[in-house]
Chain A
Amino acid sequence: MCGIAGVIHRGSRADVGFEMTSMLRALKHRGPDSTGFALYGQPQRGEFVLRFKVAEQEDMSKGFDIHRQVVERRAEVDRRIAQMGGEIVMEEPATEYAFRYQLRFKPGTMNSLEAYKKFADYIEDIDGAEILSLGHALELIKDLGDAERVSGDYKLSQFKGTHAIGHTRMATESDVDIRSAHPYWAYPFMDVSVVHNGQLTNYWGFRRQLEHRGHRFMSNCDSELIAVYLADRMHRGANLEEAMHASVAELDGVFTYLVATSDKLGMAKDTMAAKPMVLFESSDLVAMASEEVAIRSIFPKEIDTWDPYDGEVRVWQS
């Protein structure tokens, strides 16, 4: 059934890593297979944050050669970044197979959607490589295990930022692996990520249409479609809210999803309101989750909450 959560602070930075860890820990019973975070920190002017992996967690226990392959794949990523005019300003290995890079590019080389796409495609052309996120503020982390484990492994509880979305997954329609875990980066859009609870019934039809327009899918998970769909809509001129309204009309099935950009957090619910969402809104922040118990994990006091209605779309600014 999956659990999703989001929090956005208005005009201030806070411990969003700790908050999202607490919220997702409270939703563990909704899905123990994998956990993912999309955390939005202070945008680094002129620098990009790249989160990528070169193998699945389960690959690391298969065969004798995988450790050497991981080293080689990462070296190839480094080589291709340099080839594309990029400089690695800082690198942090999060796990043996997943990494965080801060990149700087030569002026004029990474300043368009086409350039981002070309960069992402070239990196993902490496066997086993997948870009989890690319942007100025977004840090997308996902792995197998519960919130406690993922947050601990990737040291997320110290993360400060303006907003975050997260997901605990119960795999129903695709594999238990990082590729099928949420959030999804809305390739190739900088800083756009999506988490979803539900099932889309017109997934394959829409996927074919979007692939024909040049978009790439990394998994067979229907949730990825929402990220790609929103990216496509925005590429064709819609703003975030317009793209979300269109998704409610066009995507078929039952869903509630959250989408985040560098400074916004949005929520959309299908026209039958079949999937849960509880909202809390104050002058300082907005928090939302599949269950109120997740909001209570960061607000241990009496608060007013409510359910958004069928077909509702909301967007909040940080």
Chain B
Amino acid sequence: MAKLSVKAPLGAEHEESLRGRTQQTFFPATQEENYTYPDSVEVNFKKRAEFDAAPMTATQINERIRALMAEGNGHIVVHNPMAKHGIGVGLLNKLRLEFRGSLGYFGCGLLDGPYVTISGRVGWSCAENMLAGVIVIEKNAGSTFGAALRGGDLVCKGDVGARMAIDQKGGTIIVGGRCGSFCGFMMQRGRMIILGDTGNNLGDSMYDGTIYVGGKIGSLGVDAVPGELTEVEAAWLKRKLDTYGLKAPNGVENLKKIVAGRQLWNYDKLEPTEKKIAL
């Protein structure tokens, strides 16, 4: 493991200075007050509301969440979401949102700010385009998990399907179990931690970003290459996993690091012979 002279202070993980543009921070915690939306509401985290979503449509559930937020509830518990699609989406607000059950497709997409926990499973495309916030899923997740993620932490404690983090642009995705094929396809920024095995073509055509794997890698995709884990990264990984009660199977020091080989950068400008080498 390579040693770096820079040691990140505890609690300042968003300001660590690591290698490459991938590691840049777009929304440092110290500036969070600068980022508010015109329609965001003041909520009190001690004010709690709950409702049964079983007889409701997805639209009714989303409207109910917004109505409860408008009443100042900072902690909302949704019972029996019954794997309905597109719920908990587009919340641009501070909020503690708790789903007791499973979500269907496109759950919790386009979030900016909430802290969400889901006791069940999520279907395809959970947390798509999330800008900031935290989502913790206790069970499994479907394919295209965290597609185009831009920021925040997305955690699945179980297994995840194929094409996770496709087009990831930032943030951190953590998987407690294994994942399917083509995860990290065209990844551009951010970090992905998979504690179990991966499917084939991991990190295919990734442009930048970093992938850490605790289990066996099915195969690496085009232009995804092994990298060298640094002490700073190991410390960050440990803190990040501790935050969510997860452990690397053989310790964070033994996580495999995968980065972009950068052979595909400026691909269009390469000569035909160079393109063959890159692929």
Q: Are A305 and B54 in contact (CB under 8 A)?
A: no
Across the interface, do B143 and A302 meet the contact criterion of CB distance under 8 Å?
no
Flag the segment in A7-15, A230-238, A289-297 that touches B: A289-297
B72 within 8 A of A: no
Interface membership of A307, Cβ < 8 A: yes
Q: Is the CB of B140 within 8 A of A300?
A: no
Note all chain B residues with C-beta closer than 8 A to A295.
83
Q: By the criterion CB–CB under 8 Å, are A306 and B102 in contact?
A: no
A101 an interface residue at 8 Å Cβ cutoff?
no
Q: Which residues from B are CB-within-8-Å of A300?
A: 54, 82
Assess whether A273 is interfacial by the CB under 8 Å rule.
yes
Contact B121 A305 (CB under 8 A): yes
Contact A306 B140 (CB under 8 A): yes
A305–B161 alpha-carbon span in the complex (Å):
12
- Closest Cβ of chain A to B165, distance in Å, is 15
**Are B105 and A291 closer than 8 Å at their CB atoms?**
yes
User: Quick check: A304 and B121 within 8 Å, CB to CB?
Assistant: yes
* B158 A306 Cβ-Cβ under 8 A: yes
Cβ contacts under 8 Å, A271 to chain B: 181
Q: A-B pairs with CB below 8 Å: how many?
A: 70
Q: Is A105 an interface residue (CB 8 A)?
A: no
B171 interfacial contact with A, CB 8 Å: no
Tell me whether B256 is interfacial, beta carbon within 8 Å: no
A43 at interface, CB cutoff 8 A: no
The residue on A at minimum CB distance from B119 is: A302
Q: Are B143 and A276 in contact (CB under 8 A)?
A: yes
The digit string for A295-318, where 1 denotes a CB below 8 A from any CB of B, is 110001010111101100000000
Alpha-carbon distance A50/B162, docked complex (angstroms): 41
Kindly state whether residue A243 has any CB partner on chain B within 8 Å. Answer: no
Give the residue of B85, B101, B121, B182 whose beta carbon is less than 8 angstroms from that of A306. B121
User: Which of B102, B120, B181 lies in contact with A273, CB distance below 8 A?
Assistant: B181
Closest to A275 in B: B143
Shortest C-beta distance, A180 to chain B (Å), equals: 26
Interface size class of A (residues with CB under 8 A): 10 to 19
Q: Does A278 contact B (CB under 8 A)?
A: yes
Interface residues of B, CB < 8 Å — how many?
28
Contact residues in B for A273 (Cβ distance below 8 Å): 143, 161-163, 180-181, 199
Which of B85, B142, B163, B182 lies in contact with A278, CB distance below 8 A? Answer: B142
A291 x B83 contact (CB < 8 A): yes
A60 sits at the interface (CB 8 A):
no
B139 is an interface residue with CB less than 8 A from chain A: yes
Inside 8 A of A246's CB, which chain B residues have their CB? none
Nearest CB of A to B216, in Å:
13
Enumerate chain B residues within 8 angstroms of A292, measured Cβ to Cβ.
83, 102, 104, 121, 123
Chain B min CB distance to A290 (Å) = 10
Q: Are B82 and A310 in contact (CB under 8 A)?
A: no
Nearest-CB residue, chain B, relative to A274:
B162
Pairs A–B under 8 Å by Cβ, sample size 20 = A272-B162, A273-B143, A273-B180, A273-B199, A278-B123, A291-B104, A292-B102, A292-B104, A293-B104, A296-B102, A300-B54, A302-B119, A304-B140, A306-B158, A307-B162, A309-B161, A309-B180, A310-B180, A310-B199, A310-B200
Known: A291-B85, A302-B101. 10 other contacts (CB 8 A): A291-B104, A293-B104, A295-B83, A296-B102, A306-B140, A306-B158, A307-B142, A307-B143, A309-B199, A310-B181
Q: Which 5 A-B pairs have the closest CB atoms?
A: A273-B162, A292-B83, A307-B161, A310-B181, A306-B140
Residues of B within 8 A of A (CB): 54, 82-85, 101-102, 104-105, 119-121, 123-124, 139-140, 142-143, 158-159, 161-163, 180-182, 199-200
